[in-house]
Chain A
Amino acid sequence: MNGSFCPTLTGTLTDTELPATVGITDYAQTALGDVVYVELPVEGDGVEAGDAIGAIESVKSASDIFSPVSGTVVEANAELVRNPGLINGGGAEDDGWICKIEVKDSKEIETLMDKAGYDAYVKGLGH
């Protein structure tokens, strides 16, 4: 990728069944490169949309992840401790989920971009 980089660093919902599963998109993981460490949020912590809920380290870069929704973290993906690379190679939107959030107000989910809107947004960035 020649060192250029413009990922989406906001966590995305990969599964809209509640509690909401938060991860990053496949596009974002390609931009970040090989993930070597994931800082997970603490189960039980409250979060507001826009709060940093963790960080991903790849290629010497610590990249903050921001929560797309407000609520409480009910589960963090412990598999990522043993295998941070789960986020790469197709796993970002699947096994590489970061945490599950019990959303305070389910209406918040409806205001977020859907997959088609997101794909168009990424195209618009010129990548």
Chain B
Amino acid sequence: MSPSRGLIFARTVSRAHQRQFRRYQSTFRTFSGSQIPVQVYISKSNNPYLNLSLEHHLFQTTPPKIATLLIYTNSPSIVLGRNQNPWVEVNHPQFASTFNPPLIVRRRSGGGTVFHDLGNVNYSVAMPTSAFCRDKHAEMVVRALRKLGVAEAVVNKRHDIVILPDGMTVEETRLTREVVGTKKVSGSAYKLTTRRSYHHGTMLLESRLEDVRGYLRSAAREWIKARGVDSVRSMVGNVRIEGGKFVGAVVEEFGRMYVGEEGMEILKDAMASRRDRIDGEVGVCWVGEEAGEVEEVQKGIAELMVSSRVYGRVLYAELVV
């Protein structure tokens, strides 16, 4: 879907939603404006501009002490890190020969280029900066994977989630040494401000990896010495777990971590019935295209969609001939 059609689509769907599902909109607004200390949001939209803007809006407006988890899945998109050079990272000629190519989006966090599609689930945890730790929530996701039977999942020294080779398993959820032959299934990136920070990551469940390689290797790479941030390439693979099961397990681990067993049960129950639920210290809310009606989210979408965001930054580079 081309960028401009995506925004019009978001508005049309959201008006339809408003008429039929007013209560969903007000649950989202009530919940996100509240002081409930542990908040879970699950996006029903596959629009990467809306999802990243929803993430940013929640990050900017939630009171600092609150812990939030947002889950979203995007339609095929190449997502660049904040300080990367698209001419080095993206294979543009490939786009000309593809019918329905992926969108290209520049996110606000650091790190490298990743591919999002419907087989890839994103999790985003925001917390007070004083509680920020790069591995804490990656280890939480590893616990979720292990509960689903993926015993070889572990966090590596680069804060990514990998699968250990040859059926190897370790007891700890984070490696303290290098292991050769791991397969990366999740990449992480972070954004830090004075009072609040977030960690978001991808999880490759059933992603179309055969499509990814063609888009992410630029032939121009040899001739450009760019001053932006380089991607670090890794062997990647899919975990091959159904998306709904993964989301349920991550939400439960989040609940357990922040509100204990009782919190976990409340969330588990809500996830099973797929109904918004707010209960004391914790709540979960499904958010659809109606998030696009929020003014700050609309502004965020507009910022991400303008082509100068991806290509128009001042990026220092030299041509090497």
Contact = CB atoms under 8 A, between A and B. Distances in A.
Contact of B188 (A6, A36, A60): A60
Given A6-B132, A9-B194, A62 B82 contact: yes
Interface in A63-91: 63-64, 66, 81-82
Given A3-B133, A3-B135, A6-B132, A60 B192 contact: no
Contacts, number: 78
A82 B194 contact: no
A6, A10, A58, A61: residue with the most chain B Cβ atoms closer than 10 Å = A61
Given A57-B110, A59-B159, A62-B109, A5 B83 contact: no
Interface residues of A, number: 24
B227 A82 contact: yes
Contact of A5 (B132, B189, B194, B229): B132
Contacts of B190: 59-62
A66 B193 CA distance: 9
Nearest to A60: B111
The binding surface of chain B is classed by DSSP as loop
B35 interface: no
Most buried by B among A36, A39, A81, A82: A36
A73 to B, nearest CB: 15
Interface in B123-173: 129-130, 132-136, 159
Given A4-B133, A57-B110, A62 B159 contact: no
Nearest to B199: A61
A60 B82 CA distance: 10
Interface residues of B, number: 27
Contacts of A59: 110, 134, 159, 190
Contacts of A58: 110
Given A37-B110, A63-B191, 20 more contacts: A2-B135, A5-B129, A9-B129, A9-B192, A10-B194, A37-B227, A52-B193, A57-B229, A59-B134, A60-B109, A60-B112, A61-B109, A61-B110, A61-B190, A61-B191, A62-B108, A63-B192, A63-B193, A64-B194, A82-B227
21 contacts: A3-B135, A5-B132, A6-B129, A6-B130, A9-B129, A10-B194, A37-B110, A39-B83, A57-B81, A57-B82, A59-B134, A60-B81, A60-B159, A61-B134, A61-B190, A62-B82, A62-B83, A62-B189, A62-B190, A64-B192, A81-B316
Interface of B: 81-83, 108-112, 129-130, 132-136, 159, 188-194, 227-229, 316
B123 to A, nearest CB: 15
A62 B227 contact: no
B110 A60 contact: yes
Contacts of B188: 60
A6 B128 CA distance: 10
Contacts of B316: 81-82
A60 to B, nearest CB: 4
Contact of B192 (A36, A61, A82): A61
